[in-house]
Amino acid sequence: MLIQLANAIPEVPFGWSVLLAPALMISLVVRERQEPSPRRGWAQALLVVGLTIQLIGLAGGSPGMARVGLPISVMGLALWTGVPSITAAVLAFWAMPIPVTLYGLTTPNLESAYAQLGAAMVGALGADISASGPLIRSGAERLELDPYHSGIHLIFVITELSWYAAARRGLPPMVALARTAGATLLAIPLQLFAVWVAVLLLAAGASGVAHLWLDHGVWLLTAILGVVWIEIRCAQRNRPDTP
């Protein structure tokens, strides 16, 4: 199962971002100072369900289905042993690659809208930019947004960071869930900003850099800045008041 998961990572440009989830989970485990408190009422059920889904998926040749069972098993194991906390264990759901079919639900409308808006914003600065659907042109340079540039993956990263922030503060799971759901709205302006930067790079004749930025730079910068911001805020809250 883990081998199939590792093989799925390079399937999409943002695949490596799934490694952020175990890193954040380890960060939470290291900071957990309370004694483990196993709660085995649901643990057995979750372990059975998780393992059953994995076996059915693997036997039926459906790796995507099998992956769903992995975080469920992790949650069951967390309840059984008390380590990590259930809030930290939920991060295992972000260690699963986004199903490729999900990107097909919004294509080509969403990335075309971002292309049109990004070209209009840069064009307003006097650059020679035009957009037709998801294709953006600047002289001889071309940049075509694909389904992976629709902002869906930013939702993935932002909600993960939001859940981590709630867990770092020790918020109850339902409060963490509400905050995480609200954080999805941040993906819209962030993706528009990302496309705007890409179009600026295109106008400067750096189409290769623009592609690299959209494929890897956006999620990586969001993750780094997000973690730094969360840790700074947590450090400020834990700092004793000075007279």
What's the pLDDT tens digit per position in 167-201? 998 888 899 999 999 999 999 999 999 999 999 99
pLDDT recorded at residue 59:
83
Q: How far is CA 231 from CA 28, 160, 165, in A?
A: 12, 15, 8
The one-letter amino acid code at 206 reads: A
Cis before 63? omega within 30: no
Least-confidence region, from 8-17, 52-61, 191-200: 8-17
Q: Is the pLDDT of residue 221 over 90?
A: yes
- For 82, phi and psi rounded to 5 degrees? 85, 0
For 105, counting Cβ atoms within 10 Å of its Cβ (0-12 exposed, 13-18 middle, 19+ buried), the class is: exposed
DSSP lists the bridge partners of residue 138 as: 141
Q: Which pLDDT does position 227 carry in this prediction?
A: 96
Q: What is the mean pLDDT of residues 71-81?
A: 90
| Residue 41 banded pLDDT, cuts 50, 70, 90 | confident
Please say if the pLDDT value at position 10 is more than 80: no
**Beta carbons within 10 angstroms of residue 27's beta carbon:** 17
